Structure 1
């Protein structure tokens, strides 16, 4: 009989390993454990730092039932704090982004806060005994700037990003030379009826590139697929390839120059759910954030950034291609997998991992699953069962 304990799963050799059991992708109790043990102490990408260039510029980000304001104050400092009035719990800002010209005013009782979260005024507080505005500062949220991105973390004791992801910033800067000049072009949220891990799994393997839909085949044709490499580090991973030197067009646009620096296909994943990528020849950077809603629904947040004042035609074409062709093709695969995972005829499959860790090997999927597993169960030698 096959040993199905968590310890047995963790001890599998990669080349013979079976996937996580299907319940890991739809069980509400396991999802609740992921919420508490993964996402409540994770670093969440809020925006590129250039989106907050202007004093008062802000973005509001949500994870589960938590809402966070990230904002630049008049002195140029960045702050993150909970999006909640300290009077009766009203949410302060409902827009996703904007520029706060004055104080942040609660629409309920007009308590007013500075851009650092400090209470500046509360109507009638002068008539209230022992009322001190310093007692009602909005609780701050951990914030870091990493590789041009602004991140927040709901755990005040979380390990800093440079320690968690050593080498990741250098990797992204090497692949995307214009990282610091990026400006947001467009951002869209799409709700997908699939577990967040199903979506991540699809994005971190090359096995299906030349085997699934026509748009994946189109992408493979733009790269040197023999040079496609998938590499994992402790808490981050990269996958990509050099551009196809013989490509004459990309996304329906003619290429009038040979490949140059920054024209390759590059993806970097920052545990657990942040992905930054660059399609070949696209001259832009994409962000692909998987934001879990529940055990079987996720938000995909697609962001597009450019260093150019005027968008090149190939950039416009690559965005259309992602939004209208490759993206929907991937989403349909995600939905189909999520449905199939409920089948009585399936529980575990086989990771297709070869000894060479080739361009079609699924070793990144296993690495990602091991990170999830470790967060849920602890060290394999002393397994701690997650809810089942």
Structure 2
């Protein structure tokens, strides 16, 4: 058996008619070889939300973004531009910065041998290299990473040939601005990291289907009481998807009075940009959340929940309650569900199941999961042809 044939057999899956299709085989959720291919073809070739613009407003302000074994610095330079660099010294490969956020003065200095780089990435100081034969500091700038501003956030991509994010996520910014009125004027509020023994796709599968919402744990049922599921919609687009639900008429949410509270929207709104960046807000919350699923291995993922508030006001009691509820109740309940799935896919009694997809693509349908799996399969199979809107809706 040739290597190519062996790899194709490992990846084999029939996309099929969504209403009759079988899910991705279990091996997609733990096979080290498939995971290695995902890192190469998906993680390293996709856009990732790294920082809000407000986090790098001043020269020298930086945010460090790590994913898989890659570390990237996003920094504003003296010329006012925002740059992204691989977080590594060009001398011996030392990681330059360990802090998640911060501000440097004038230069980024390696902690090992004090090679120092200007904020535009150029090497300015390299001790004891003046007498080296043929040494040219101009040959050792920091390695640049693609960075683009989109919907108030900076995204990075390690693929120099990647399509612009505005093309990849065409229509997403317009959609989210209807629910995020303060998107451009946010400041960082808090961040919570959780490492779970689960494949990154398991996390996304759970996030993007409404089937379990009214059927699983008590916390999901609690949020369901705020959402009018008759108007709930889940819409796939070629490289992004969103789901939203109008509010029920209630006087209290998350234990607090709604009257007089500030909030982004009274709707439940969630938008995911391929492959693993989510922005969301819960009903009556005055914060916008970011949710990055960051693979650490075939069965280990860092979940990073960031919350950003309008610059003009701090979260009120209701919004604070939403954040605490998410961090201490909904998040852990979802993680428990994901861990149970991850354990189950190893069973000899299971390989593939049926998507529950109805013709109406209702609130209880799993059509977004099928859409996501299709994008995964296409990426791993080398099919980079962009989906059309009509294909995404299938």
Smaller-chain TM-score bracket: over 0.9
Match of 2:323 in 1: 319
Aligned equivalents of 2:297, 2:147: Cα separation in 1: 25
Encode CA deviations 1:84-126: one digit per residue, 9 max, x unaligned. 1111111111111101123111111111111111101111222
Match of 1:270 in 2: 273
1:54 to 1:11, Cα distance in 2 relative to 1, 3 A: closer
Length, aligned pairs only: 377
Match of 1:339 in 2: 343
Is the Cα contact below 8 Å between 1:56 and 1:100 reproduced in 2?
yes
1:130 to partner: Cα distance: 2.5
Is the Cα contact below 8 Å between 2:278 and 2:292 reproduced in 1?
yes
1:251 to partner: Cα distance: 1.1
Match of 1:74 in 2: 78
Match of 1:288 in 2: 291
Aligned equivalents of 2:191, 2:129: Cα separation in 1: 41
Q: Are residues 1:135 and 2:142 paired?
A: no
1:378 to partner: Cα distance: 3.8
Aligned equivalents of 1:145, 1:253: Cα separation in 2: 36
Q: Are residues 1:162 and 2:166 paired?
A: yes
1:129 to 1:203, Cα distance in 2 relative to 1, 3 A: same
Match of 1:238 in 2: 242
Encode CA deviations 1:46-68: one digit per residue, 9 max, x unaligned. 11111111211101111211111
Find the residue that maps to 1:239 and give its secondary structure: strand
1:250 to partner: Cα distance: 1.1
Q: Are residues 1:350 and 2:340 paired?
A: no
Is the Cα contact below 8 Å between 2:227 and 2:247 reproduced in 1?
yes
Find the residue that maps to 1:62 and give its secondary structure: strand
Match of 2:365 in 1: 361
1:31 to partner: Cα distance: 0.7
Find the residue that maps to 2:370 and give its secondary structure: helix
Encode CA deviations 1:268-298: one digit per residue, 9 max, x unaligned. 0000000000101011101111001111010
1:8 to partner: Cα distance: 8.1
More off after superposition, 159-168 vs 307-316: 307-316
1:7-86 to 2 correspondences below 5 Å: 9-86=13-90
1:163 to partner: Cα distance: 1.2
Gap regions ≥5 residues in structure 1: 381-388
Is the Cα contact below 8 Å between 1:6 and 1:377 reproduced in 2?
no
Structure-2-length-normalised TM-score: 0.92
2:307 to 296, 304, 312: 304
1:135 to 1:361, Cα distance in 2 relative to 1, 3 A: same
1:262 to partner: Cα distance: 2.1
Aligned equivalents of 1:82, 1:378: Cα separation in 2: 26
Aligned equivalents of 2:345, 2:15: Cα separation in 1: 23
1:309 to partner: Cα distance: 2.6
Aligned equivalents of 1:375, 1:290: Cα separation in 2: 18
1:111 to 1:374, Cα distance in 2 relative to 1, 3 A: same
Is the Cα contact below 8 Å between 1:243 and 1:281 reproduced in 2?
no
1:177 to 175, 181, 188: 181
1:259 to 1:91, Cα distance in 2 relative to 1, 3 A: closer
Find the residue that maps to 2:306 and give its secondary structure: strand
Q: Are residues 1:114 and 2:122 paired?
A: no
Aligned equivalents of 1:8, 1:130: Cα separation in 2: 52
Is the Cα contact below 8 Å between 1:56 and 1:71 reproduced in 2?
yes
More off after superposition, 123-132 vs 149-158: 123-132
Encode CA deviations 1:104-162: one digit per residue, 9 max, x unaligned. 11111111111111101111222222322211111111110011110111111111111
Match of 1:254 in 2: 257
More off after superposition, 74-83 vs 121-130: 121-130
Aligned equivalents of 2:29, 2:19: Cα separation in 1: 22
